């Protein structure tokens, strides 16, 4: 490090110029390659068995997420004006390049299966616009008499009708969404038009995520500027500290763009993280420099830099490495956004370390020391006298050791209880405000129809023609009835609905025949008649050509993980009966993928926490050459992690892709405090040999810097209170709480453990 110091003394300008050139290059790469990822499928591992099977089923049955456009008339949709608008809008959607014609379903395109002279006929509900009361009444009665359409495409109160446009995952874009909204809303008056659906939710979140990031960064920077100035009270210190965090953020995103890694919704948190985290090293370095200059007011730049490097390079490096380790542990997650968040945040932390050890010294060489703070006592001090506040704080901690230990035990026990109440939620819709248009629109459509989210259940048999067997079809029909009884489940659709409809219309439309036929031959005959009379492409969305794989599509009124699990539990109760018929049950579609997604989040968090703690303990033990020190240093972050999850459980804050980051952030940032504190404790212990003086001096030096650091980070993360996404606001509050508990744990319980362990005072009796 002495060579680096001497090099910086000679080549400060060149170092800053090289950093600037690389930054400009990375900025160009960002502009060229950066993009937001809106496809939920791209959040998940491609080789996971659940996703592999789901992708297979989606191709087999043409399963796609649907955009839902609801048209509401305050009296009834059965009027010429509304039906004309429905027809024209349906045709316009079919002509959009992102949507295939056959993937648009509405009352205008729907099939009406009817019986006619002993055979099955498939008709349109209407082609030309019905204008007379008689024709409108006939249409209304036709819809009411068809369970495949009534309450599915036309609401029960007959005031709302819906168009479903299914699109491929890679077709959604912000321009497409804006064009879709423009076309849809052009049909308003007197009707109201609502646009919702899974692609809309995902796309809007990506769009707002980018806007949120643009709003957050300036606010964070402004807050950091104000707080840094209040803490450092030096314009030079402020400028160079701010330069470090901005550079580290730009480099992190630059490398993301360089390797063509997309920006996920959670990636928008990286700038806030790095801006809040990156100030830590600078605060500790400038704090040490200030204390050195107080003691040595006549010191030269070379003397100050020599002391700064000698005293601070080790804690700066080890804190940055341990912080990076906390984030890099997120690579154990199989969820891509979390994995890449961990990777590039850790890179940003390491960049901040490099810049702290280069930009700050180069700044001192080129621009001199920070402005001197006013100090009533300008005499050269022989020894570093503790600040009154921190001196008293150290004494207060030592005086009330038992009370502090008891308080920590009680708080930890309560938090452990709270962790048992933590639940996981992968809902995209829950990331929006309750009052937002997208949530209200989604609720409107869910209130009038089956649901904007879908779960697909795939029944599979090795026997060809299995799903012409009335027994297994009746089991599927029973499952549909059980699922539809759930308050958050809407309509379901399968081969059974076709068969019940055909059986009914072939028996004079009598309700008593609205059931699965008892005869296999009759079922086979109905299916053959439909293939001859209708559009077989529609049939292949619920059954395959060999009739040994069937698709049951269930509409759900929420993408909440709890609801999905409840619906699946209903299906699972029927698994034994299904498997007795030599049929297997599988799941597919975006709804199921979201559920697997939640399990991967939990699994990744458990792995991440265990790996982080292990890595941090080992790194601390290696740094201080003592395993006991490593264990003591990890105590504050372990307590912080437990408290964090306890608060989530007690206050009903779910674990999501955003809040899942809390533990890694707590471990990564919180360990900084322990490292700086222990390193300074060790130095003073070896220097003074007096345990009480060591405690006071350490509290004055590192306790002071840690407090400043905690204040900056807490206020930086509190900026997330301005985010449009509730989970981001929860993350800001949780991380701020973590920083406070990490700081408090370091200067209380960890200090007490250092004192009680007798580390660095082997020959002195500790009371």
Q: pLDDT digits over 497-515, tens only?
A: 999 999 999 998 899 999 9
Same domain (yes/no): 237, 309 = yes
Same domain (yes/no): 707, 640 = yes
Domain membership of residue 364 (yes or no) is: yes
pLDDT at 384 over 50: no
**Mean pLDDT of the 337-347 span:** 89
Same domain (yes/no): 359, 392 = no
Instruction: With cut-offs at 50, 70 and 90, classify the pLDDT of residue 436.
Output: confident
pLDDT at 379 over 50: no
Same domain (yes/no): 286, 371 = yes
pLDDT tens for 232-248 read 777 888 888 888 888 99
Task: Examine the fold and report which residue of 318, 344, 376 is the final residue of a domain before the chain moves on.
Answer: 376
The residues pairing with 68 across neighbouring beta strands, listed in sequence order, are: 164, 196
pLDDT at 767 over 60: no
Same domain (yes/no): 539, 655 = no
Q: Quote the CA–CA distance of 421 and 275 in Å, as a whole number.
A: 32
Q: Quote the CA–CA distance of 164 and 194 in Å, as a whole number.
A: 12
**Mean pLDDT of the 113-137 span:** 89
Domain membership of residue 266 (yes or no) is: yes
pLDDT tens for 200-217 read 887 777 677 767 777 777
8 Å CB contact between 494 and 502 = no
Task: Examine the fold and report which residue of 565, 591, 617 is the final residue of a domain before the chain moves on.
Answer: 591
Q: Quote the CA–CA distance of 167 and 99 in Å, as a whole number.
A: 6
Domain membership of residue 212 (yes or no) is: no
Domain membership of residue 223 (yes or no) is: no
pLDDT of 236: 81
pLDDT at 377 over 50: no
| Residue range of the domain that includes 76 | 61-203
Residue with tokens 């900056």: 712
Same domain (yes/no): 634, 760 = yes
Same domain (yes/no): 415, 516 = no
pLDDT of 468: 96
Domain membership of residue 655 (yes or no) is: yes
Same domain (yes/no): 525, 631 = no
Domain membership of residue 167 (yes or no) is: yes
pLDDT at 764 over 60: no
8 Å CB contact between 305 and 361 = yes
pLDDT of 376: 44
Instruction: With cut-offs at 50, 70 and 90, classify the pLDDT of residue 385.
Output: very low
pLDDT at 405 over 80: yes
Domain membership of residue 79 (yes or no) is: yes
Return the CATH number at 583. Answer: 3.30.70
Task: Examine the fold and report which residue of 184, 203, 222 is the final residue of a domain before the chain moves on.
Answer: 203
pLDDT of 397: 94
Same domain (yes/no): 397, 480 = no
In the chain, the number of structural domains is 4
How far is C-alpha 515 from the geometric centre of its chain's CA atoms? 44
Kindly state the percentage of the chain with pLDDT values over 90.
43
Same domain (yes/no): 653, 729 = yes
pLDDT at 380 over 60: no
pLDDT at 387 over 60: no
pLDDT at 455 over 90: yes
Return the CATH number at 655. Answer: 1.20.1640.10
8 Å CB contact between 457 and 549 = no
**Mean pLDDT of the 397-421 span:** 94
Domain membership of residue 578 (yes or no) is: yes
8 Å CB contact between 681 and 698 = yes
566's tokens: 């409840």
**Mean pLDDT of the 652-665 span:** 75
Same domain (yes/no): 251, 313 = yes
Same domain (yes/no): 370, 391 = no
Could you tell me which residues come within 8 angstroms of residue 327 by beta carbon, excluding any fewer than 6 positions away?
Answer: 341, 342, 343, 345, 346, 349, 664, 665, 668
């Amino acid at each position: 490090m002495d060579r680096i110091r001497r090099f910086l003394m000679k080549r400060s300008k060149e170092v800053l110029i090289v950093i600037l050139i690389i930054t400009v290059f990375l900025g160009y790469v960002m502009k060229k390659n950066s993009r937001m990822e809106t496809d939920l499928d791209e959040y998940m591992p491609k080789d996971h068995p659940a996703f592999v099977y789901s992708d297979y089923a989606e191709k087999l049955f043409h399963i796609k997420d649907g955009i839902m456009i609801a048209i509401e008339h305050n009296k009834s949709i059965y009027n010429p004006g509304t039906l004309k608008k429905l027809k024209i809008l349906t045709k316009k959607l079919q002509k959009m390049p992102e949507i295939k014609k056959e993937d648009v379903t509405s009352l205008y395109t729907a099939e009406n299966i009817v019986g006619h002279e002993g055979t099955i006929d498939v008709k349109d509900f209407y082609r030309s616009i019905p204008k007379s009361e008689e024709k409108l009444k006939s249409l209304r009665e036709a819809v009411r008499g068809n369970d495949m359409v009534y309450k599915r495409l036309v609401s029960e109160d007959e005031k709302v009708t819906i168009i479903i446009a299914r699109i491929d995952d890679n077709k959604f874009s912000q321009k497409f969404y804006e064009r879709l909204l423009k076309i849809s809303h052009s049909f308003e008056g007197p009707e109201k038009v609502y646009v919702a659906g899974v692609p809309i939710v995902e796309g809007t979140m990506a769009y707002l995520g980018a806007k949120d990031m643009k709003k957050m960064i300036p606010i964070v920077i402004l807050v950091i500027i104000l707080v840094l100035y209040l803490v450092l009270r030096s314009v030079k210190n402020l400028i160079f500290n701010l330069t470090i965090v901005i550079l580290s953020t730009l480099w992190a995103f630059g490398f993301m763009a360089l390797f063509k890694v997309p920006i996920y919704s959670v990636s928008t948190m990286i700038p806030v993280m790095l801006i809040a985290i990156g100030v830590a090293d600078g605060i500790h370095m400038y704090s040490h420099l200030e204390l050195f200059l107080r003691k040595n007011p006549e010191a030269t730049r070379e003397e100050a830099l020599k002391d700064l490097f000698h005293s601070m390079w080790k804690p700066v490096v080890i804190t940055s490495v341990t912080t990076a380790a906390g984030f890099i542990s997120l690579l154990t997650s199989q969820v891509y956004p979390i994995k890449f968040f961990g990777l590039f945040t850790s890179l940003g932390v390491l960049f901040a370390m490099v810049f702290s050890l280069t930009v700050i010294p180069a700044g001192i060489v080129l621009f001199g020391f920070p402005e001197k703070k006013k100090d009533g006592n300008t005499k050269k001090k022989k020894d570093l006298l503790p600040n009154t506040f921190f001196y008293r704080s150290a004494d207060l901690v030592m005086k009330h050791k038992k009370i502090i230990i008891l308080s920590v035990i009680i708080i930890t026990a309560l938090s452990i209880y709270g962790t048992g109440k933590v639940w996981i939620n992968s809902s995209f819709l829950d990331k929006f405000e309750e009052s937002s248009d997208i949530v209200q629109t989604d609720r409107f459509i869910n209130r009038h129809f089956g649901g904007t989210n879908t779960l697909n259940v795939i029944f599979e048999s090795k026997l060809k023609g299995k799903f012409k067997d009335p027994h297994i079809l009746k089991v599927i029909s029973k499952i549909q009835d059980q699922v539809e009884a759930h308050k958050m489940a809407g309509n379901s659709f399968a081969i059974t609905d076709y068969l019940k409809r055909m059986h009914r219309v072939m028996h004079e439309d009598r309700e008593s025949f609205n059931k699965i036929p008892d005869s296999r031959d009759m079922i086979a005959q109905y299916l053959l008649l439909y293939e001859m009379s209708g559009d077989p492409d529609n049939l292949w969305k619920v059954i395959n050509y060999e009739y040994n794989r069937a698709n049951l599509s269930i509409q759900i009124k929420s993408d909440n993980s709890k609801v999905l699990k409840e619906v699946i539990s209903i299906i699972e109760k029927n698994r034994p009966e299904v498997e007795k018929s030599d049929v297997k049950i599988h799941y597919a579609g975006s709804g199921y993928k979201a559920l697997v997604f939640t399990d991967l989040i939990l699994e990744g968090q458990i792995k991440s926490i265990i790996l982080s703690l292990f890595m941090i303990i080992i790194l601390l033990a290696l740094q201080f050459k003592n395993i006991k020190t490593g264990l003591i240093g990890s105590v504050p972050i372990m307590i912080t992690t437990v408290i964090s999850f306890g608060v989530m459980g007690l206050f009903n804050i779910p674990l999501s892709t955003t809040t899942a980051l809390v533990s890694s952030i707590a471990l990564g940032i919180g360990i900084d405090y322990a490292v700086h504190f222990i390193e300074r404790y060790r130095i003073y212990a070896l220097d003074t040999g007096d345990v009480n003086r060591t405690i006071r001096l350490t509290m004055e030096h590192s306790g002071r810097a840690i407090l400043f650091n905690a204040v900056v980070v807490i206020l930086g993360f509190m900026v997330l209170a301005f985010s449009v996404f509730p989970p981001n606001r929860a993350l800001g509050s949780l991380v701020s709480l973590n920083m406070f508990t990490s700081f408090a744990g370091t200067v209380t319980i960890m200090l007490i453990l250092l004192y009680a362990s007798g580390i660095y005072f082997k020959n002195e009796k500790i009371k």
